[in-house]
Structure 1
């Protein structure tokens, strides 16, 4: 399903952990890393496509995540001809994406890269929010930068565990949730 300009509707997913690190997946049998993403099927909303792609590529279900934000408009990238199948060259130009920012509320062990019959990734890791864009395939870099930049406004500094530790050091009485975070950090 292409639009009139030759762009395929798609969703991109930036998944955060409690430390505001992003989920970063290594493409199967390749040395490239990327965020989960995938096409929007006919009749699907971007949100429905995002949850389907999330499950297919990471094994995570809606109960494992919370939607924090999404891009306001489509972000587009063109795919170089040598990456496009010969039979669709001339019609297909690239992807137009709605990007979602999610907070992981599940556990790392909930990730299952073999959730579908056609895995996209064979490894994953958490990475600092501003991922090194030089490891993303070149034609996607600008879109990644735009998505990270636009969605960064949803990340509140007060959500970061370092902020909680700083408050504790200032002799403020910690809440039970903050104490739990501190105990978990000690055990890691």
Structure 2
């Protein structure tokens, strides 16, 4: 695994402990791209996008939540009312890791919604409407810009304070337990495209000069 640069969260941001829910899980509005806290379906699931950014080697961008020593995850975020999943993808991509649409290429996305339920301790029982979990569409992207383009200092309250490139399957054993099945399903569905990217990189690297 190769580490990316560490970026300090802004001074005005209050750091959360690893045990506290973040907005990506609880449905609380981050006050950034709009209010998605009330965008919850009749079953109590909040629509959300999950983002897997790959480098040319086929490694995945893995980010550490602010204030959490071992709280790592893929970037994700809620879909605002009136917003399409793809619009939410590019908004969240910039808000969370500082990448713009022209700095990535869209490779693939999952076909349907992938759902996970929140642990009881993270459900805000007094909230209206009640959010019991997330339903997600997952997007696979390739980074077309230098690693230095990845940044948490973009004018929004940071979700992450460090990132690194990891093996494509590494997150499956490291993510918080209640998200693990969704990660497995998303990674498995998108794996054929990741394998192709990894294969092309290997072929290009092994190609002899002049051929």
Task: Tell me the equivalent position of 1:179.
Answer: none
Task: Tell me the equivalent position of 2:148.
Answer: 109
TM-score, normalized by length of structure 1?
0.85
Q: Note the 1:143-154 alignment, pairs <5 A.
A: 143-154=182-193
SS at match of 1:48: helix
Task: Tell me the equivalent position of 1:165.
Answer: 205
Q: 1:83 to 1:68 in 2, by over 3 A?
A: same
Q: Note the 1:166-181 alignment, pairs <5 A.
A: 166-168=206-208, 173-174=210-211
SS at match of 2:126: helix
CA offset at residue 157 of structure 1? 5.4
2-structure distance, mates of 1:6, 1:131: 30
Does residue 80 of structure 2 align to residue 19 of structure 1? no
Larger-Rg structure: 1
Contact (CA 8 Å) 1:21, 1:128: kept in 2 or not? Answer: yes
2-structure distance, mates of 1:21, 1:77: 25
Task: Tell me the equivalent position of 1:186.
Answer: none
Q: 2:131 aligns with which of 77, 92, 95?
A: 92
CA offset at residue 50 of structure 1? 0.3
2-structure distance, mates of 1:131, 1:158: 15
SS at match of 1:87: coil
2-structure distance, mates of 1:101, 1:132: 14
Structure richer in helix, relative to its length: 1
Q: List gaps (5 residues or longer) in structure 2.
A: 1-38
SS at match of 1:92: coil
Q: Note the 1:46-65 alignment, pairs <5 A.
A: 46-65=85-104
How many residues are matched?
171
